[in-house]
Amino acid sequence: MKYFTKEWYDEMQVSGFLVFPETKEEWEGNQTWQRTEGQDPHQIHRRDLADKREDLLKFLPEAFHPYIYDGTINSAYPTLELREMTAKWEADYEARVDALLDDYSRHYEATKEFLPPGMLQLTEKSLHDCIVKSVERPSDDVLVLYLDCSGGFHYFKDIKVTFTGVKEVVIPENMTDAWWLYNEIYLNGDLFELHVLFDMPMAEVTIVSRDVQIEELE
């Protein structure tokens, strides 16, 4: 997978983590609301930081590290220094994301005339946020995914995605309840190569096949 990788997604979550309240009043209001809901703000901050600590240290410059180590990156109202560093990092991050999306868009536009109709349908009628119900392999050259798209962006019902002429599959053993996040497509000789990033479990799936058919289920 060249674009929408687990590492790309992890950095996106770091960007989402660096969202600060606009005012001190808003910060204090959030703390008060959590307490009225029977929650401990400090415990929430510690838990959220523990979940993202490794990625924060990986993707953020060293100037951020003291805030990560002492916990103030999310447990105190942000200093002006932290805000300015974050604004600069976010601007750079957004520029890199825009460049990546533009690059993949150019790749796809140059490729799509060679793709089978089913692959165009899969790509252009988004499966983002569809959930895997089951995965079947009725034969060596066929792979079937049953997806719940009720919370997705297009079908809003269950669908059956059948890959035929399958030459290669890289997929975890148990994908039930995994969320389809992002996909990208490449030509591979006279076949196509689909890469899909899933969450829960986080997985980079590869399917090399000759064709794909999408069937809406009642």
What are 84-97's pLDDT values in tens digits? 999 999 999 999 99
Mean pLDDT, range 41-56, rounded to an integer: 95
Contact (CB, 8 A) for 166 and 141: yes
Which is nearest to 131 in space by CA: 145, 148, 143?
148
- Same domain for 123 and 71: no
Same domain, 103 and 10: yes
Q: Tell if the pTM clears 0.85, that is, is over it.
A: yes
Strands (DSSP E) found in 45-130: none
Q: Is the pLDDT of residue 186 over 80?
A: yes
Domain assignment of residue 176, yes or no: yes
> In terms of DSSP H, where are the helices of the chain?
6-17, 24-36, 41-59, 65-69, 72-75, 80-111, 117-124
Residues 145 and 205 in one domain: yes
> Last residue of a domain, which of 77, 109, 141?
109
Mark whether 120 and 185 lie in a shared domain.
Answer: yes
Instruction: Tell me which residue range forms the domain holding 50.
Output: 6-109
pLDDT the model gives residue 91: 98
The Cβ of residue 29 has, within 10 Å, a number of other Cβ atoms equal to 12
Residue 191 lies in a domain: yes
Question: Per-residue confidence at 209, pLDDT binned at 50, 70, 90?
Answer: very high
Same domain, 14 and 100: yes
Judge if 121 and 105 occupy the same domain: no
Same domain, 101 and 155: no
**What does the pLDDT look like over 156-173, one tens digit per residue?**
999 999 999 999 999 998
Q: What is the mean pLDDT of residues 23-42?
A: 92
Residue 93 resides in a domain: yes
Do 97 and 123 fall into the same domain? no
- Please give the tally of structural domains in the chain: 2
Q: Where does a domain end: 86, 109, 132? A: 109
Q: Are residues 128 and 75 in the same domain?
A: no
Q: Which of 171, 199, 195, 177 is nearest to 185 (CA)?
A: 195
Q: What would the mean pLDDT of 124-150 be, rounded to a whole number?
A: 96
Predicted confidence at residue 201, as pLDDT, reads: 85
Name 49's bridge partners.
none
CB atoms within 10 A of CB 178: 24
In a domain, 1, yes or no: no
Handedness of CA 31, 34, 40, 42 (dihedral sign): negative
